[in-house]
A and B are shown apart, each in its own frame.
Chain A
Amino acid sequence: MYFQLEKCTIRKAQARNRACILFREGFIMKKKQVLCILLAGAMAVSLAACGSSSASTSSSGASASSGSTGSSDTLIVGTEAGFAPYEYMSGDEVVGVDMDISKAIADDMGKKLVIKNMDFDGALVAVQSGKVDMVAAGVSVSDERKEVMDFSHEYVDSTEVVVVNASQPNVKTAGSELAGSDLDGKIVAVQQGNIADSWVSSGDNCKPSDIKRYTKFAQAAEDLKNNKVDCIVMDQYPAQELVSSNPELKVMDGVLFEDKYAIAVKKGNEELLTEINKVIDKLKEDGKIDEFISNHASSAASSSDSSSK
């Protein structure tokens, strides 16, 4: 160790005092320079990142205070792409019925649509904090939600159904029709923050022994196949997609409850809400929304058909 030190010291001292430029020293200097440049570059990049993020903070602060989105040329929509046919991944893009509607709204406003793919409950928080302009993710209108965000006109009627294991269904219809009481004492799977979550969580509707809240329906389906849960409560269209790819599962006859989907915006954002309502009314009038649904329902089904062949 001391030997090492001596060598090193002597070499440095030589280089320093006599300024003799050895080839070796030159090499070391070069390496040092490279390191310096690298560090400087890294610093510049990180500073630039900080600068840009702080700049965007200030600009958004301005737009938030004016309470409008008019200053920006983008329309940011939050969604959760695990809800075919309303929203799902195709390649590396998020597509679906809600995305078609969002696109129509963005086109009408002359803005560029930016899709942010997040957890469903996260999207509902993001719209309140203004991180996204609106949420189009099969959001059901409920009184609780109305207190913290505003809703557009409803654009689709949704029907909530019960999915069970086909070979050993643990949920049975006791009366003539499917009812909430059929879920009493069962382990029920829902998507976290989804309308089915609040419906089954309310003691007035049913009294399940346990409610398991998932962020992805695919995970819930896997657990249902393994009988870790007794049933999944979800919208009928995604449920049909789910059982078409999973023959082990089936949709129970009957409807658990019905509700309507709308687009959620930040509370008080009247300007954007008016725009959205205008476009939704037009789409409904032209029968475009049914067209979107049949497009996506069939395309998702056909792609799973072709792959199973």
Chain B
Amino acid sequence: MIAAGSWGAAFTRAFLTDHRYLAYLSGLKTTALISVFAIILGILIGLVVAVGKVSAKGNRKLWIIGGICNIYTTVIRGTPVMVQLLIIYNLVFTSRNTNEIVVGAVCFGINSGAYVAEIIRAGLESVDRGQMEAGRSLGFSYLQTMRLIIVPQAVKNILPALGNELITLIKETSVAGVIAVTDLTKAAQYVGSVTFDILTPLFIAALTYLVIVLILTRLLKALEGRMSRSDRY
């Protein structure tokens, strides 16, 4: 009973007193904004880079594009996202009117793009070679075969891994606090700085992340179920 009482008091102090839930809410808003824009940007970059890589593989003339795409994925996947964030913040976005949410979204988008590119490339390459050969022999052009035969089959293979990447990205935005942006994690830390009880706000933040991820997992599962409706194996 005493333990429960003190837990309740700690929760009240960390969440209700002084309208502190507003801090979590605005932090959650920042986290959501960064995540959504980063996901959109990441998928766009990932698509372009994956197509570049796959095309370059079958065509010697495109070696420059293939090289650029390879350098991009190597550098981005080979360095920590926190370091990338600090470099982009201090090197590229040095203006006085910098919007930190834009910096975060751009940085996490570029970062995620490299992983998404590899996921999409793997998905495209997982489709049997015979599909491309059959498509070409039936008179489709390379692009038509890609669009009508390879990509629809690849999407199914890509979705679970892509969903995983989205979940990772949302959680990874918690390092955004190193630039002057107050995301959910940093909001929790600041509430802890006022109450000098750091654990309770961190539990609240952890629970919030968990709920977001659970909702997202459900949505992705529903989408996968919809996609597999045409499976007849």
Give A contacts to B, CB under 8 Å: 1-2, 4-5, 8-9, 12, 39, 42-43, 45-46, 49, 52-53, 56-57, 59-61, 63-64, 72, 76, 78, 81-84, 88-92, 116-119, 122-123, 125-126, 129-133, 216-219, 221-222, 241-242, 245-246, 300, 303-304, 306-308
Report the stretch among B10-18, B67-75, B164-172, B215-223 that lies at the interface: B10-18
Can you identify 9 A-B contacts, CB atoms within 8 angstroms?
Answer: A1-B130, A82-B194, A89-B191, A89-B193, A117-B190, A132-B96, A218-B198, A219-B198, A245-B196
**Contact string against A for B residues 28-65, beta-carbon threshold 8 Å, 1 for contact and 0 otherwise:** 00000000010011001000000000000000000000
Within 8 A of A (CB), among B102-132: 102, 105-106, 109, 128, 130-131
User: Which residues of B are at the interface with A, using a C-beta cutoff of 8 A?
Assistant: 9, 12-13, 17-20, 22-23, 25-27, 37, 40-41, 44, 90, 93-100, 102, 105-106, 109, 128, 130-131, 134-135, 138, 140, 148-149, 152-153, 178-180, 182, 186-187, 189-199
User: Which residues does chain A contribute within 8 Å of B153, judged by CB atoms?
Assistant: 4
Residue contact B190 to A242, C-beta cutoff 8 Å: no
Closest beta carbon of chain A to B65's beta carbon, Å: 20
Would A304 and B128 count as touching, CB distance under 8 A? Answer: no
Are B96's CB and A63's CB within 8 A?
A: yes
Q: Name the CB-closest residue of A to B199.
A: A222
Q: Which residues of B contact A8 (CB under 8 A)?
A: 148-149, 152
Contact between chains at A131 and B194 (CB < 8 Å): no
Dominant SS at the B interface?
helix
- Decide if B96 touches A64 in the complex (CB within 8 Å): yes
Write the chain A residue with the least CB distance to B195.
A245
Given contacts A8-B148, A46-B40, contact A89 B194 (CB under 8 A): yes
Given A53-B99, A72-B96, A117-B182; 8 other pairs, CB 8 A cutoff: A1-B130, A8-B149, A9-B149, A45-B37, A88-B190, A116-B100, A117-B190, A132-B96
Docked CA distance A50–B197 (Å): 40
**Chain B residues with CB under 8 A of A5:** 131, 134-135, 149
Instruction: Give CA–CA (A119, B153) in the complex, Å.
Output: 48
- The 6 A-B pairs with the shortest beta carbon distances in the complex, nearest first, are A82-B193, A118-B180, A91-B19, A60-B95, A92-B22, A56-B97
Shortest C-beta distance, A81 to chain B (Å), equals 5
Q: Which one of B20, B93, B105 lies within 8 Å of A91 (CB-CB)?
A: B20
- Which A-chain residue is minimally distant from B25 (CB atoms)? A92
